[in-house]
């Protein structure tokens, strides 16, 4: 892979923790004048081939894949332009502001025979695979509760009148898109799409600062909770009639879980401890691009599309409207 990274924010810094271990042939970075010092330092620290400040120049280079690591509302436009330039697109979560944008990218991907992949760590991790194996230990599943609540310092700014992208309805922000996307992605990758979606949200200035998504799966019920305006101990549970599976970390960071059966026996299961969570997804992205594995890309993309539809339905239920919805 010859990679072009678009963005210099927190998620790119996170990727850099495992970047040097990845089999990437060449990397170029797109920065802005405001981020010039950070961009140049990243490039120097990790041996990037070049830092550019014009997206057209990046797309005219010999990179084959663009990693779109920008605020939510920019994902679609940057990915679309990458595909039009003949580049594969890896897009940070949430992949698009709404399913309509994603449908457009999917059509373009098929037309140009290029890849569109969401950088959602969860389904690539060995912990996820272990959960899949052990769900049967719980008997008949009845209730799933996932809670990712962390107080954001950006909420302090929001209350003071400064609206940053994470809380900006015009930039596809909010707790659903920022945090609950992880919970919903785990549910979709395990169980597929639910029969019904409801969203009870706390809304300020048109954006959800926290909320609960209720997902009716027919045979069981799920609650996906996320908050940026308050915090809570992280606890995620899968409750069956024969036992409970507990994850004591946000699901995008999970490396172990516990199964406690009704007979009192308890089992602790760990997988991937000590390995950066983004390592798994990027190794698979590189393999998919190198081998041209479009079948796997389509399988992964179908899950991303299902998540996007659920979040759109949730926003509709809570009357949260993004600028991108009118496009």
Domain total in the chain:
2
Do residues 222 and 194 lie in contact, with contact meaning Cβ atoms separated by under 8 Å?
yes
Given a cut of 80, whether residue 327 has pLDDT beyond it is no
H helices then E strands: how many in the chain? 11, 14
Domain boundary, last residue among 63, 84, 119: 119
Given a cut of 90, whether residue 90 has pLDDT beyond it is yes
Q: 174 and 232 share a domain? A: yes
Q: 147 and 177 share a domain? A: yes
What confidence score (pLDDT) does residue 52 get? 97
- Tens digit of each residue's pLDDT (9 = 90 or more) over 116-150: 999 999 999 999 999 999 999 999 999 999 999 99
Residue 54 lies in a domain: yes
Q: What CATH number is attached to the domain comprising 76?
A: 3.40.50.720
Q: 23 and 80 share a domain? A: yes
Instruction: Please report, for residues 98, 208, 209, the alpha-carbon distance to residue 320 in angstroms, rounded to integers and kept in the order given.
Output: 12, 8, 11
SS3 category, 121: coil
Over residues 72-90, mean pLDDT? 98
Q: 178 and 322 share a domain? A: yes
Q: 132 and 250 share a domain? A: yes
Question: For residue 32, what are the domain limits?
Answer: 2-119
What percent of the chain lies above the pLDDT cut of 70? Answer: 100
The CA distance from 89 to 116, in Å, is 5
Domain boundary, last residue among 70, 103, 119: 119
What confidence score (pLDDT) does residue 272 get? 86
Over residues 79-93, mean pLDDT? 98
Domain boundary, last residue among 91, 119, 147: 119
- Tens digit of each residue's pLDDT (9 = 90 or more) over 31-75: 999 999 999 999 999 999 999 999 999 999 999 999 999 999 999
Q: With bands split at pLDDT 50, 70 and 90, how would you rate the model's confidence at 254?
A: very high
């Amino acid at each position: 892979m010859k990679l072009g990274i678009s963005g210099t924010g927190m998620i790119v810094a996170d990727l850099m923790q495992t970047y040097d271990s990845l089999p990437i042939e060449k990397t170029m970075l797109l920065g802005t004048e405001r981020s010039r010092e950070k961009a140049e330092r990243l490039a120097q620290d990790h041996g990037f081939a070049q830092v550019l400040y014009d997206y057209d120049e990046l797309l005219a280079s010999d990179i084959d894949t663009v990693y779109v690591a920008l605020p939510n509302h920019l994902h679609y436009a940057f990915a679309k332009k990458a595909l039009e330039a003949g580049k594969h697109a890896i897009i940070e979560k949430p992949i698009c502001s709404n399913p309509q944008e994603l449908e457009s990218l999917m059509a373009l991907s098929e037309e140009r025979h290029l890849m569109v992949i969401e950088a959602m760590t969860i389904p690539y991790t060995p912990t996820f695979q272990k959960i899949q194996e052990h769900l049967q230990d719980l008997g008949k599943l009845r209730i799933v509760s996932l809670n990712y609540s962390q107080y954001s310092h950006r909420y302090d700014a929001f209350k003071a009148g400064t609206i940053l992208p994470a809380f900006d309805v015009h930039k596809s922000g909010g707790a659903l898109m920022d945090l609950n996307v992880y919970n919903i992605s785990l549910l979709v990758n395990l169980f597929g799409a639910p029969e019904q979606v409801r969203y009870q949200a706390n809304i300020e200035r048109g954006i959800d600062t926290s909320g609960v998504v209720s997902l009716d799966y027919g045979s069981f019920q799920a609650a996906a909770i996320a908050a940026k305006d308050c915090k809570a101990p992280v606890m995620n549970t899968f409750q069956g009639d024969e036992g409970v599976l507990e994850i004591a970390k946000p699901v995008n960071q999970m490396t172990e879980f516990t199964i406690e059966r009704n007979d009192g026996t308890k089992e602790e299961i760990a997988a991937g401890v000590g390995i950066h969570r983004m390592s798994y997804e990027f190794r698979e992205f590189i393999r998919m691009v190198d081998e041209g594995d479009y079948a796997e890309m389509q399988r992964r993309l179908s899950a991303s599309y299902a998540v996007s539809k659920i979040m759109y339905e949730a926003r509709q239920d809570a009357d949260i409207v993004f600028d991108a919805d009118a496009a």
